[in-house]
Structure 1
Amino acid sequence: MLDVAIFWEWLSFAVRWLHVITAIAWIGSSFYFVALDLGLRKRSGLPAGAHGEEWQVHGGGFYHIQKYLVAPAELPEHLTWFKWESYATWMSGFAMLAVVYYAGADLFLIDRNVLDVSAPAAIGISIASLALGWIVYDQLCKSPLGKNDTLLMIVLYAVVVFMAWAYTHLFTGRAAFIHLGAFTATIMSANVFMIIIPNQKIVVADLIADRTPDPKYGRIAKTRSLHNNYLTLPVLFLMLSNHYPLAFATEFNWIIASLVFIIGVLIRHYFNTMHAGKGAPSWTWAASAILFVIIIWLSTVPKVLTGDQASAQPNAGHQALVASAHFPAVRDTVLGRCAMCHSAEPYYEGIYLPPKGVVLDNDGEMARHAREIYLQAGRSRAMPPGNVTHITPEERALLVAWYEGVERSR
């Protein structure tokens, strides 16, 4: 059993690493080509059909790049397709979803205080939501609404906000954020697989058959590529969020996720505008900063003490925490709800080492990790994962009162 557990842990790590590698490749090429497209310059003397060109210098050499809106008169012998970066990113991401959240559904996917369902049912809801997301998005883009970019983006944002809310009412907070990221990433990768690459293949087939390609295929592909560009940064935030319980495990987590999408669009608007040579709209950074402050406030209502306050005078603080009138009840709560995993010899099934090396089976360690207990089990619902030990709201309130009471008395 121990060997299986170790193998599964390393499999999770390997799939996560692969996902990061492929995502870097996909995002890097996406950002590069959007910047290249926006930076193209027109001049007299360009070849027939060429929309613009750009000279670049990198790695000790010069590159001369020309773009054709439809296609060149003759198809070159060697044509590089940018598609496997997207496919590999989605496949590795889904593998990670399966290894971590489907295989560990009772721990990471299901919170029975949110929705009491079986593991197969939760997994089915997960997969169905990803497929439904692409269908809804694609149909909206193909509808008359798709002819109005601004109105389309408003409607699509409303869909994202609804899904942020819905996921937090289906899964654990951690799984909700990961699923919102997977929901968006599925749309992005399906754009490549279902629209962008097929459209490019139609153009290539027309060229081979000596037909004049229809320019609409290029326009559609460019629009979907731009959508992907604006969605990238929110997806990155959501993929990283499982390390930050103040983002995913607080009361207003779905609003936080919704605001992150606006921040991502603002930041990409800055870079896209700058690459297009239309100036540098610095107001986007100010607006992003304001929204991020709102996110911090939403995650800490009522206010969470700063790290400096929490870590000041650690020895005296530890003594005060243990001496608190709340501590006997806190000790019982931590031993009953947390110590089965967070002990020198964990006895929760499948756990062989205390997660992240945090031991909570004695008074001194409880005091030393008081801030983590406060943030992850008091102020947020990150711990226990999926609330598998059924910690009650009253017990969470006790942890908050214990920590804040000692901090206020300093």
Structure 2
Amino acid sequence: MLPYAMNWADLLLRWLHVIVAIAWIGSSFYFVWLDNSLEKPTDPELKARGVDGELWAVHGGGFYNPQKYRVAPKNLPQHLHWFYWESYSTWLSGFALLCVLYFYHAGIFIVDPRVFAWSSPGYAVAAMLGFLVVGWLVYDGICRVFGQGKNGDLTVGILVAVYVLIAAWLACHLFAGRAAFLIIGAMLGSSMSANVFFWIIPGQRRVVAAMRAGQTPDPMDGKRGKQRSVHNTYFTLPVLFAMLSNHYSFVYDAPNNWMVLVLMMLAGALIRQFFVLKHKGAWKWQYWIVGGGLIMAVAVALAPKPQPSLANAKPITFAQVQHIVQERCLLCHSGAAASKGVRLDSASDIVSHAQAIYQQVVVLKAMPLNNATQMTDLERAEIGQWIKDGAKP
């Protein structure tokens, strides 16, 4: 029953993670758009109140007039909505999912002997946790040391990009491709949530406390919080790609997969830059062109090669295929708790899943996962030939 319970934990945590991530990313995108769409007020009364920008909008049958103050309003309202539960819930649900799906099955999902021969799955788990902690410390250190001055944002952007490149290369040489992509996404996602926890919310709390005490808030709190919030918006699309990529083995199992990850994340950041500038009224299509070009280049480079045919024309029998499946696939695809609900422990199951088997085993070579059961190219070719011949039992 434990595997069945873990499948439910995986499903429910994944569901929760997606829901709260939508809430977090949605609010993040909205406020970046709002900041870049505000107009200077012309009403003397608004200026006297300290309003630095406002916007009139219509949505859902109503009219809205959001206003932004330079630091804070002179008379602080008693009720304030704090945007932080979306961030914390996303990180907590994501980390729980990481534990249930990857750490619990570390020997299968994290360790790939073809990449790095860990002496124990526990060491691989510890290394992945290290990526989360060190990733935040390095990123935060870069922001603290180089984030000031006229060209601080550009310097931070370059240094963070270099660090992500190094981290991606290292992860892809330590972990199975699927886990490597995921941990880089989790590393950036953890830094995003840590920005909220360590910088954005504490700065906002200090501003509120100063206002409550009748003191002048420190404008640096708002400036630092804004800086980290902007970083978060550029991390968003790269993180989303890294998280979604674990469903597409042709990406994470590709040769030089670290380069694939870096280029796709760069494309995401460039496309996000286009939209950030668009909100300011500047249509810089070159960001879309370069980002789209990178995606196309990666897609062409990863295009599957034609599958070799068997040397002899002798038909492959179902008995041969069933023997291969029993040897290489039943470790994960048997019984009620079969991975992804795909059972291959009967003749009818194998026949009914023939096309999926062909795609995952022959074309993409994604299964067995990390080739844990050492399926040979000859065996893949035999399965492919049997399916091409009609997949007859």
Asked if Structure 1 and Structure 2 have the same fold, meaning a TM-score greater than 0.5 normalized by the shorter chain, the answer is: yes
Q: By how many angstroms is 1:335 displaced? A: 4.4
Q: By how many angstroms is 1:292 displaced? A: 1.0
Q: Distance in 2 between matches of 1:364 and 1:322?
A: 24
Deviations 1:11-47 (A, max 9, x none): 1100000000000000010000000000010033233
SS in 2 for 1:47: helix
Provide closer, same or farther for how the CA distance between residues 199 and 187 of structure 1 changes in structure 2, counting only shifts above 3 A: same
TM-score when normalising by structure 2? 0.87
Unpaired segments ≥5 residues, structure 1: 306-319
Which residue pairs with 2:250 in the alignment?
246
Q: By how many angstroms is 1:186 displaced? A: 0.4
Q: Distance in 2 between matches of 1:156 and 1:53?
A: 33
Instruction: Kindly indicate whether the alpha-carbon contact (under 8 Å) linking 1:326 and 1:402 is maintained by their aligned counterparts in 2.
Output: no
Q: Aligned residues, how many?
A: 376
TM-score when normalising by structure 1? 0.83
Aligned 1:128-139 pairs, distance under 5 A: 128-139=130-141
Which residue pairs with 1:337 in the alignment?
328
Q: Distance in 2 between matches of 1:143 and 1:95?
A: 32
Q: Distance in 2 between matches of 1:397 and 1:171?
A: 26
Which letter maps to 2:17? H
Which residue pairs with 1:101 in the alignment?
102
1:42 to 35, 40, 43: 40
Provide closer, same or farther for how the CA distance between residues 361 and 170 of structure 1 changes in structure 2, counting only shifts above 3 A: farther
Which residue pairs with 2:297 in the alignment?
294
Which letter maps to 2:38? L
Which letter maps to 1:108? F
Provide closer, same or farther for how the CA distance between residues 365 and 352 of structure 1 changes in structure 2, counting only shifts above 3 A: same
Aligned-residue CA RMSD (Å): 2.9
Deviations 1:131-178 (A, max 9, x none): 110000000001035542112211111111111111111211111111
Instruction: Kindly indicate whether the alpha-carbon contact (under 8 Å) linking 1:267 and 1:284 is maintained by their aligned counterparts in 2.
Output: yes
Q: By how many angstroms is 1:402 displaced? A: 8.0
Which letter maps to 1:198? P
SS in 1 for 2:207: helix
Which letter maps to 1:197? I
Provide closer, same or farther for how the CA distance between residues 339 and 8 of structure 1 changes in structure 2, counting only shifts above 3 A: closer
What is the percent sequence identity of the aligned residues?
41
Residue 357 (structure 1) aligned with residue 357 (structure 2): no
Q: By how many angstroms is 1:87 displaced? A: 0.3
Q: Distance in 2 between matches of 1:356 and 1:250?
A: 26
Q: By how many angstroms is 1:268 displaced? A: 1.3
Provide closer, same or farther for how the CA distance between residues 190 and 63 of structure 1 changes in structure 2, counting only shifts above 3 A: same
Deviations 1:98-151 (A, max 9, x none): 000011111211112322221221111111110110000000001035542112
Q: By how many angstroms is 1:267 displaced? A: 1.6
SS in 1 for 2:236: helix
Q: Distance in 1 between matches of 2:339 and 2:232?
A: 40
SS in 1 for 2:66: strand
Which letter maps to 2:380? L
Q: By how many angstroms is 1:187 displaced? A: 0.5
Which letter maps to 2:130? A
Instruction: Kindly indicate whether the alpha-carbon contact (under 8 Å) linking 1:322 and 1:367 is maintained by their aligned counterparts in 2.
Output: no
Which residue pairs with 1:144 in the alignment?
146
Which residue pairs with 2:391 in the alignment?
none
SS in 1 for 2:47: coil
Which letter maps to 2:13? V
Instruction: Kindly indicate whether the alpha-carbon contact (under 8 Å) linking 1:326 and 1:398 is maintained by their aligned counterparts in 2.
Output: no
Provide closer, same or farther for how the CA distance between residues 322 and 244 of structure 1 changes in structure 2, counting only shifts above 3 A: farther
Deviates more, 1:232-241 or 1:290-299: 290-299
Aligned 1:1-400 pairs, distance under 5 A: 3-44=1-42, 45=44, 46-48=46-48, 49-117=50-118, 118-144=120-146, 146-147=148-149, 148-278=152-282, 280-300=283-303, 303=305, 324=313, 331=321, 334-342=325-333, 346=334, 352-353=337-338, 355-357=340-342, 359=344, 368=355, 369-377=357-365, 382-391=366-375, 395-396=376-377, 399=380
Q: By how many angstroms is 1:327 displaced? A: 5.2
Instruction: Kindly indicate whether the alpha-carbon contact (under 8 Å) linking 2:146 and 2:156 is maintained by their aligned counterparts in 1.
Output: no
Instruction: Kindly indicate whether the alpha-carbon contact (under 8 Å) linking 2:361 and 2:380 is maintained by their aligned counterparts in 1.
Output: yes
SS in 2 for 1:52: strand
Q: Distance in 2 between matches of 1:145 and 1:401?
A: 58
